[in-house]
């Protein structure tokens, strides 16, 4: 039977109707993100012609060289969220401080958005898949400007999470805690249309994604797992294929559809891990768990980690459940071994 055609806006409205007490604020916020994604997608697609490739000559709070499109994407999402009226604060990878929005202007805005406006931006100049990652929390304090407890919430308190991947086609994938759905942008309509309903990650895959150039700096458990992936075993379908794009969104999206594991572990050079907890690890962890997968920092479930600061870093093991469990098993067995 032919799948019923539904746009992102139609789908959001339908889902809102499932909750009689819903005020519509979260629905409007998700639509605001979708609108900003269309604007960013347009600019990415014309970047070479418009001369917006390359670095700005500045660095962000992470110590990373900012690309011109990093800055553009950040501005577009912040503008859309401010104008939408549902967001009271924004945490962005590109800004050192919390962006608090005056409640006097927006009234009853109840949501905090944490966002990586352009993940994998080092790949922009070579036309490789990049993306946006976002996380949404509900404010817990009342009255006045937002407080630290509003922002530094555990990942298990997220009310929604998602990502946009700008590639051969542009997709928006999101969850509100009731499954995962994917929408592909139809350029002829200018609309995100439901293309991947009820997404589930295979329990097992044959792809592992890790930057093996850092192998010598990895914990012994990660090195043992990589060797395990490379060993031949017909019963388990090994050796697995190594696929690493260098854009978390792109690697994650492929593994979500085909099955696999993405690993960005702590290293001797980055003992706390490198990816950001609030706006990279937590949203992806919520998505993968809703799709039947798993996410851990190597010891603790990602969504249960304490959040102490805006740009806190974390290691991550994320993907097909059985693959993550095998990696964590090796992390535990070799936890006291630091050199092979």
CATH 3.40.190.80 maps onto the chain at 207-333
User: What was the pLDDT predicted at 230?
Assistant: 96
What is the chain's alpha carbon radius of gyration, rounded to the nearest angstrom? 20
95 is in an annotated binding site: no
Are 302 and 318 contacting, i.e. CB atoms less than 8 angstroms apart? Answer: yes
Are 182 and 198 contacting, i.e. CB atoms less than 8 angstroms apart? Answer: no
In 3D space, the residue among 138, 134, 182 whose CA is nearest the CA of residue 159 turns out to be 138
Fold of 8-196: Fructose-1,6-Bisphosphatase; Chain A, domain 1 (3.30.540)
pLDDT tens-digit profile, the chain (340 residues): 345 679 999 999 888 776 655 568 899 999 999 999 999 999 888 765 545 555 555 555 565 667 788 899 999 999 999 999 899 999 999 999 999 987 665 467 899 999 999 998 777 777 788 999 999 999 998 877 888 889 999 999 999 999 999 988 999 999 999 999 999 999 999 999 999 999 999 999 999 999 999 999 999 999 999 999 999 998 888 999 999 998 999 999 999 999 999 999 999 999 999 999 999 999 999 999 999 999 999 999 999 999 999 999 999 999 999 999 999 999 999 986 544 4
Task: Tell me how far apart the alpha carbons of residues 40 and 207 are, in angstroms, rounded to a whole number.
Answer: 30
What residues pair up with 65 in beta bridges, in sequence order?
Answer: 59
CATH 3.30.540.10 maps onto the chain at 8-196
Chain-centre distance of CA 279, in angstroms?
7
141 is in an annotated binding site: no
93 is in an annotated binding site: yes
CATH of 207-333, one of 3.40.50.1820, 3.40.50.2300, 3.30.450.20, 3.40.190.80: 3.40.190.80
Burial zone of 237 (CB within 10 Å; 0-12 exposed, 13-18 middle, 19+ buried):
exposed
Q: How far is CA 331 from CA 73, 223, 298, 334, in A?
A: 37, 9, 7, 5
User: What was the pLDDT predicted at 236?
Assistant: 83
150 is in an annotated binding site: no
211 is in an annotated binding site: yes
215 is in an annotated binding site: no
118 is in an annotated binding site: yes
Edge-to-edge strands of the sheet including 261-264?
241-242, 207-209, 261-264, 316-319, 294-296
């Amino acid at each position: 039977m032919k799948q019923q055609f539904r746009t992102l806006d139609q789908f959001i409205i339908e889902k809102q109707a499932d909750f009689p007490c819903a005020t519509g604020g979260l629905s409007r916020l998700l639509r605001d993100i979708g609108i900003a994604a269309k604007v960013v997608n347009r600019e990415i697609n014309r970047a070479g012609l418009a001369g917006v490739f390359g670095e700005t000559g500045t660095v962000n709070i992470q110590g990373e060289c900012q690309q011109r499109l990093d800055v553009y994407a950040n501005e577009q999402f912040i503008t859309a969220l401010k104008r939408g009226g549902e967001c009271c604060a924004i945490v962005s990878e590109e800004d050192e401080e919390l962006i608090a929005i005056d409640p006097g202007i927006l009234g009853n805005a109840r949501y905090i958005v944490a966002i990586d406006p352009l993940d994998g931006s080092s790949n922009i100049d070579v036309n490789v898949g990049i993306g946006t990652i976002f996380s949404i929390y509900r404010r817990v304090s009342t009255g006045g400007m937002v407080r630290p407890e509003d922002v530094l919430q555990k990942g298990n308190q997220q009310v929604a999470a998602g990502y946009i991947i700008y590639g051969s086609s542009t997709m928006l994938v999101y969850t509100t805690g009731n499954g995962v759905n994917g929408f592909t942008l139809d350029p002829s309509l200018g609309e995100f249309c439901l293309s991947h309903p009820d997404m589930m990650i295979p329990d097992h895959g044959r792809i592992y994604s890790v930057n093996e150039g850092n192998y010598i700096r990895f914990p012994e458990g990660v090195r043992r797992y990589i060797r395990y992936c490379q060993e031949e075993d017909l019963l388990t379908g090994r050796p697995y294929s190594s696929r690493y794009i260098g854009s978390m969104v792109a690697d994650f999206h492929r593994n979500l559809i085909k099955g696999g594991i993405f690993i960005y572990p702590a290293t001797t050079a980055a003992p706390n891990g490198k990816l950001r907890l609030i706006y990279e690890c937590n949203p992806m962890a919520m998505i993968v768990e809703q799709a039947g997968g798993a996410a851990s920092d190597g010891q603790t479930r990602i969504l249960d980690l304490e959040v102490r600061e805006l740009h806190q870093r974390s290691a991550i093991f994320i993907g097909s459940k059985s693959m993550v469990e095998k990696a964590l098993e090796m992390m535990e067995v070799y936890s006291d071994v630091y050199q092979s």
